[in-house]
Amino acid sequence: MHTKSLAQLAQGLQAGEFTSVELTHRYLERIDEFGPDLNCFITTTADLALQQAQAADARIAAGEAGPLTGIPLAHKDIFCTRGVRTSCGSRMLDNFIAPYESNVSEQLARAGMVMLGKTNMDEFAMGSSNETSYYGAVKNPWNLAAVPGGSSGGSAVAVAARLTPIATGTDTGGSIRQPAALCGITGIKPTYGRVSRYGMVAFASSLDQAGPMTQSAEDAALVLGAMAGFDQRDSTCVEQPVPDYMAGLEQDLKGLRIGLPKEYFSDGLDNEMARVIDDAIAVFRDLGAELVEISLPNTTLAVPTYYVVAPAECSSNLSRFDGVRYGYRCEDPQDLEDLYKRSRGEGFGDEVKRRIMIGTYALSAGYYDAYYLKAQQLRHLISDDFKQAFEQVDVIMGPTSPSVAFNIGEKSEDPVSMYLSDIYTIAVNLAGLPGMSVPAGFINELPAGLQIIGNYFDETRLLNVAHQYQQQTDWHRRIPEQFS
């Protein structure tokens, strides 16, 4: 049951082969069995899940079900879920019971999906390895000594080990695509503004975007259709109709122009990774796609630019955590300043504090022009590189991550080496474009991902391209043996 696609699950539910309650029990059992070793859940919500499953079964019986009704899911613990702890992977919010519901979780609940629980993540979504969580590191199901990637590591692992059919994630610099690549699943970060950020704990508001993490592009198309859309509660959410992503999946790829940025395939790229990506591209060539060498000249500037923009916005966003209205408060504060400093000093972990300090420094008097203004200008140049490329090509392809999963502890002492693991994903957020990662092979028995980048609001094409690739390959169906 746990290896079925969403369409197969929906069919089984409609045909009465199994009920949503049975399906939910099955996944809750798998979470009980495998969850603790993988540490991919912060909170499980069994009672709530069974209530929602009963309601879904009633809807199905009444003939009022949609394609997602009765199907379980897990939410990254960054989405506020009313009445359920929403920790964001931080001690700061360890005691925070969300008083309202995020738009993403609300829409998926309205579609009849059943929430199994909240997944582990890097603290405040700051990290690329899921080691910065207050709740401990998450393990990669392909090798328990390896990281799952981050920040949506718990969601990626829960899907990879088939502890949930799908999970939600958020992506500020690669946090959906990089863990999807490292865990061998499919993940899409939509265009900035496609999905509402309402009720999503803010990290860097001009970059944050939510998306689904799934077993296949087809599943992603189905879930994204239910997540996306205009919401007036997010001032940057774009007022544009949501296309039928499922309807576009079967389009053939003859004549599709694929851009291969020479900067992504330069000397720095690992040989084995180059082989995996070349093999994937060969599949598209066989499907009739045309390969075009392109250039994104400002590629190397993306990581430095991001590490000004994201920390600056994070320092501003996280100033709300003051120990007064919600969240962690230190013991016996001497005065108000002591309350602020110790609540924040004790409530936040090291990586979060580093980023707040970098952002505070970059925004402080006298440094604004040299850092934030400069970064926003470079952001324009990076974005223009993509604009020019999309005049020649329909999609851009390359590796999602420079390497497969590294070991737990390997990069945690050196923040800069960790940051460079997002070198291929970060520019996409700076430009606000949609990007996707699909499983494309294995290196040393660890999954590797192909990144597909599209033009603004061209999610239909990304999903189509990924789906066609998944009709020719079975990398996305591989499940780590221990969890099969």
Partner 1 sequence: MSLDADDVAKIAHLARLEISQDNVAEYARNLSSILDLVEQMSAVSTEGVEPMAHPLSLAQRLRPDVVTETDQRDAFQHNGPQVEAGLYLVPKVIE
**Number of residues binding to partner 1, judged by CB under 8 A:** 75
Stated as kind and residue range, the H or E segment containing 442 is: strand 435-443
- Establish if 320 lies at the interface with partner 1 (CB under 8 A): no
The rounded distance, in Å, linking the Cα atoms of 328 and 348 is 9
- Establish if 79 lies at the interface with partner 1 (CB under 8 A): no
Least separation in angstroms between residue 331's CB and partner 1 is: 11
Beta strands in 262-403 (DSSP E): 290-294, 395-399
Helices 271-286 + 459-472 axis angle, to 10: 90
Of 390, 419, 469, 475, the one binding partner 1 by CB under 8 A: 419
The rounded distance, in Å, linking the Cα atoms of 172 and 192 is 10
- Establish if 360 lies at the interface with partner 1 (CB under 8 A): yes
Least separation in angstroms between residue 134's CB and partner 1 is: 16
Per-residue interface string for the shown chain with partner 1, residues 212-251, x marking contact by CB under 8 A: --------------------x--xx-xx------------
Per-residue interface string for the shown chain with partner 1, residues 25-64, x marking contact by CB under 8 A: ----------------------------------------
Each as own residue / partner, the long-range contacts of residues 22-29 (CB below 8 Å, 24 or more positions apart, any chain) are 23/53, 23/70, 23/71, 23/72, 24/49, 24/50, 24/52, 24/53, 24/72, 24/114, 24/116, 25/50, 26/1, 26/2, 27/2, 27/72, 27/116, 27/163, 27/164, 27/165, 28/116
**Residues numbered 443-472 forming contacts with partner 1, rule: CB under 8 A:** 456
Residues 6+ apart with CB under 8 A from 223: 6, 68, 73, 108, 166, 212, 214
- Establish if 380 lies at the interface with partner 1 (CB under 8 A): yes
Q: What angle do CA 180, 129, 123 make, to 5 degrees?
A: 105
The residue among 271 and 334 lying less far from partner 1, judged by its C-beta, is 334
Binding segment for partner 1 (CB under 8 A), chosen from 12-20, 243-251, 272-280, 347-355, is: 347-355
Backbone angles phi, psi at 42, to 5 degrees: -90, -40
Token digits of residue 166: 């799908």
Binding segment for partner 1 (CB under 8 A), chosen from 147-155, 247-255, 264-272, 355-363, is: 355-363
Binding segment for partner 1 (CB under 8 A), chosen from 33-41, 58-66, 69-77, 412-420, is: 412-420
The residue among 115 and 303 lying less far from partner 1, judged by its C-beta, is 303
Active site residue 151: yes
- CA 258 distance to own-chain centroid: 24
Least separation in angstroms between residue 62's CB and partner 1 is: 31
**Residues numbered 289-308 forming contacts with partner 1, rule: CB under 8 A:** 298, 300-301, 303-305, 307-308
- Establish if 411 lies at the interface with partner 1 (CB under 8 A): no
Catalytic residue IDs: 76, 151, 175
